[in-house]
Amino acid sequence: MASEKAPLPFVYTFMAGAIAGVSEILVMYPLDVVKTRVQLQTGKAAAGADTYNGMFDCFSKIIRNEGFSRLYRGITAPILMEAPKRATKFAANDKWGKFYRELFGQTQMTQSLSVLTGASAGATESFVVVPFELVKIRLQDKASAGRYNGMIDVVMKTVRNEGILAMYNGLESTLWRHILWNAGYFGCIFQVRQLIPKAETKQGQMTNDIIAGSVGGTVGTILNTPMDVVKSRIQNTVKVAGQTPKYNWAWPGVATIAKEEGFGALYKGFVPKVLRLGPGGGILLVVYTGVMDFFRNMREAKGL
């Protein structure tokens, strides 16, 4: 990561990650809404006004039937989540990287250490994001229009009807989702940076970061989409006392979806997801690297 150029205090890593995360969510959020809608749709067939035949059909039906603003419904929760989420991602990756280099006696990152570090950062990040993700998923669902009046209403009704621990529904599947995505993302960033020519200019560095981040985001998305589908369904399920939810645990949920809807159903919402997290991964890395370089130059100018 860029932070290895010159070590910076934790607060700068945290702030850079937060700024990168909010920048990405503001640009790419509508794709996340479409992804969630498609993932929550069960069954193999899709026809009619309330079902979607893919990304473009979903976009057009949301805008036509619910209005353009619906593409940004629930954005408050992810914006509040993005700062701690992305900040935790990059800060944890930085801290875990140092920990593993010392543990294994390495002076530089390697491919295997990058994968291990990314997976550990993903697991750390999961504990921060689960409640925000649950609120976001429930607001993005089409049925939420008559069920919830906003973010606070989701929290209040979930806690009142299902208990406070319900805010952590889907923790296990979220752990798997973030472990797989971060391992693929940070592992690929390391590998791509080794393969492409070293940048000699600021513009060249930005281009390299876009390439590395986009490849990492794409690979991470390929790895974690099945867990993302399961997570969406687990978190959108309102638990009823005495009843076992259909989607309860990650791997059994994967098996259920594959059995009932076919293996391809595990990649529902993949196109909008990869269109968001492929380029989104590039945006994250470019903004994060740029902000870290800004902080580094600022400290050097002050003689710190």
d(CA 280, CA 114): 20
Domains of the chain (ranges; CATH) run 2-299 (1.50.40.10)
Q: For position 145, what pLDDT does the model report?
A: 67
- The gap between the terminal CA atoms of the chain, to the nearest Å, is 21
Question: Which segments of the chain have a pLDDT < 70?
Answer: 1-7, 43-50, 145, 304
The pLDDT tens digits of the residues spanning 36-70 come to 888 888 765 455 556 888 888 988 998 998 888 88
d(CA 81, CA 232): 16
- The shares of helix, strand and coil residues in the chain, as percent rounded to the nearest 5, are 80, 0, 20
Q: For position 2, what pLDDT does the model report?
A: 41
Q: For position 172, what pLDDT does the model report?
A: 94
- Cβ contact 186:121 at 8 Å: yes
* Global model pTM greater than 0.85: no
Tokens of 239: 């638990």
d(CA 221, CA 262): 19
